[in-house]
Amino acid sequence: MHRRNILAGFAAAGGLIGAALGSARAETFAAAPAKMKVVYHLNELGKVDFVLGNIRNHIDGMGGADKVTIALVVHGPALKAFHTASANPETRRKLGGFPGIELAACGNTMKAQEITLKDLLPGFAVDERGGVVRIAELQMQGYAYLRP
């Protein structure tokens, strides 16, 4: 009997601690910065739709594009999804729905794929120093790094 009372006491204490932590957590999540800055890193061709979906959810979750600054840095095989000649209509549609987003293409990848800025969908800028350099630079400016 005595053991049951002790276990019941532990369970009750755990419940109270859990409730207190849950309450503190809810308060923490509610206190978001006025304007978030995020850099999305995309280099896998198979993740293009997933990352574009994440960006859409991010914008919607923040309450609009004016509440978040987003940069998408693309390099490696993923850049092929943004070639004008081969981009699928869904990728074009999704990308067109992101006003104000920075689209950075890796200059090294562009050289390797033998393309120029004219070969990419509208809105891209080239970072001749490389995609990973751009990502690090944005992180130094306070951007949160996301690689879905």
Are 26 and 44 within one domain?
A: no
Q: Strand order in 144-146's β-sheet?
A: 124-127, 102-106, 68-74, 36-42, 144-146
Q: Is the pLDDT of residue 39 over 80?
A: yes
The three-class DSSP label of residue 145 is strand
Q: Which residue has the higher pLDDT, 90 or 33?
A: 90
Residues 43 and 19 in one domain: no
16: pLDDT strictly greater than 50: no
Domain that residue 8 falls in: 1-31
Per-residue confidence (pLDDT) for residue 99, from 0 to 100: 85
Report the chain's terminal Cα–Cα distance, integer Å: 51
The secondary structure of residue 66, as a DSSP letter, is: G
Residue 100 in tokens = 């104000």
Q: Could you give the number of structural domains in the chain?
A: 2
In tens, the pLDDT along 90-141 reads 999 999 889 889 999 999 999 999 999 999 999 999 999 999 999 999 999 9
* pLDDT tops 70 at residue 4: no
b/e per residue, 20-30, with b = 16+ CB within 10 A? eeeeeeeeeee
What is the reported pLDDT for 122?
A: 94
Identify the three-state secondary structure at position 62: helix
CATH code of the domain containing 96? 3.40.1260.10
Q: Per-residue pLDDT tens for 55-94?
A: 999 999 999 999 999 999 999 999 999 999 999 999 999 9
